[in-house]
Structure 1
């Protein structure tokens, strides 16, 4: 049985999908631990959730690009006697440009944040979930995990595909112990993601039916993990795209990916 007030740890909670998860889970009666780099945004969100939902909200600023960050975060939880029931591995960003146009440091930080940190947090927090017989892990992946890689943003699709496969194995290993794991795969989502990567003008060329709000993504993601769905693509349009790409010959899907990359990816 779930606890009366589950505790949810949300990474990348300062904006976008992460902040939407915080609001949605607080509304469902969860207490929260919020982590991201931007302290002021976290504190503002925490104050909002305390006032609106009477939630206990702990702010633990951290930069997951630091290899020591996951352990430091879990140590801080242990020092406060906090047991995490829901882990939302949401922190992420994009690295514009082609592979060779970025430094190795940029790539290494990206791999740390998008792949290593969520894996380590799951490894560190999963044993207590198993012991308690209850837990939920949502790894925020992407529709990009289900379509060919692109020209530019070289590691993005690869990192999201990793999260999908990781989630599948983790779900199979733990569902008999009351721990549900879901790879949540949104498509284009209204947030500041494309502003940060400098691709907003290009993204604005896409038709409105391609977009979802962060709130829509989060609502579907919470339902998906509760229902035991292991991989969930949000939105009907995104599910159609996934199916069409799966049915296409690889040569055709790669050609389409290359063509669309030039239109919607910042390559420098």
Structure 2
């Protein structure tokens, strides 16, 4: 495990930091004396978190509000951070958008928002903040994927597809960056009880019927894994079990199992 860094040379940018796993990650990172840039749509919540982190840990927390579903959101956020004169050591791509429903019944605009946040903004931010990391030979990227990255989930078809992208992108990029001083980690939580599930009709899916993680435990595992340079973090026994099960089952059964997690509230996605 790497030793805590000092605020003199370490700042982490956390997207989706206003609640849930994002807020928990910000708290974990601040405990290691990193300064923070906190971003999400809800400014008041970000300000409250920033005040908490500064008072509790003596770090500097900068708030930048940004809707990552907006066109060119990644570019705008990068410019805002640059204009503040802040150098990002660790990029945490945590923001995400869910959606539940049959694909022929959901709205294309909602799916567009999912893809913009979960894939386009994540890729854009990684591209922009990665180059300075590689140039100085040091940095860290932590991407929030999901167990849905491993299981095609009917009625969450676009969501699970985007999370598959996050996981595949993270693994490939991590390999590209071997020896560069920059690491890439993807965390694949199972079901986590957060406000996230109150968006996109997800509460109708029974997904929370078998909650296995709380945001803090996921954040702790993710941050420790990122500091250790792990490629993939499965933050619970259920998620580790699920990651192995997908290797053993026929593809049709994997999809059926993904469907059962939606209809029956199975506990590990």
**TM-score normalised by length of structure 1:** 0.92
Aligned counterpart, 2:197: 194
1:7 corresponds in structure 2 to 11
Match among 70, 82, 89 for residue 85 of structure 1:
89
Consecutive unaligned residues of structure 2, counting only runs of 5 or more, are none
Identify unmatched segments of 5+ residues in structure 1. Answer: none
Alignment correspondent of 2:68: 64
**Aligned pair partner of 2:188 in 181, 185, 196:** 185
Cα distance between partner residues in 2 of 1:66 and 1:124 = 17
Q: Alpha-carbon deviation of 1:49?
A: 0.8
Q: Secondary structure at the match of 2:213?
A: strand
- Shift, 1:260, TM fit: 3.6
Deviation at 1:258, TM superposition (A): 3.0
Structure 2 distance, partners of 1:186, 1:257, is: 15
Check 1:152–1:219 CA distance in 2 against 1; reply closer, same or farther (3 A cut).
same
1:165 to 165, 168, 177: 168
Figure out how many residues of one structure are paired with residues of the other and give that number. 261
Equivalent residues of 2:5, 2:32 under 8 A apart: no
Q: Is the CA contact (8 Å cut-off) linking 1:199 and 1:264 kept in structure 2?
A: no
Q: Does 1:137 align with 2:138?
A: no
Contact kept? 2:33, 2:57, Cα under 8 Å: yes
Matches within 5 A, 1:146-165: 146-147=150-151, 149-165=152-168
* Aligned match of 1:215: 216
Please give the alpha-carbon distance, in whole angstroms, between the structure 2 residues aligned to 1:228 and 1:176: 12
**Equivalent residue for 1:122?**
126
- State yes or no: 1:44 paired with 2:48: yes
Query: Shift in Å at residue 141 of structure 1?
Result: 0.1
**Aligned mates of 2:208, 2:228 — CA distance in 1:** 34
| 1:27 correspondence with 2:4 | no
For each residue in 1:104-145, what CA deviation from the matched residue of structure 2 results, as whole angstroms up to 9, or x when unmatched?
211111100000001010000011111121101001000111
TM-score w.r.t. structure 2 length?
0.91
Q: Distance in 1 between the 2:264 and 2:192 partners? A: 18
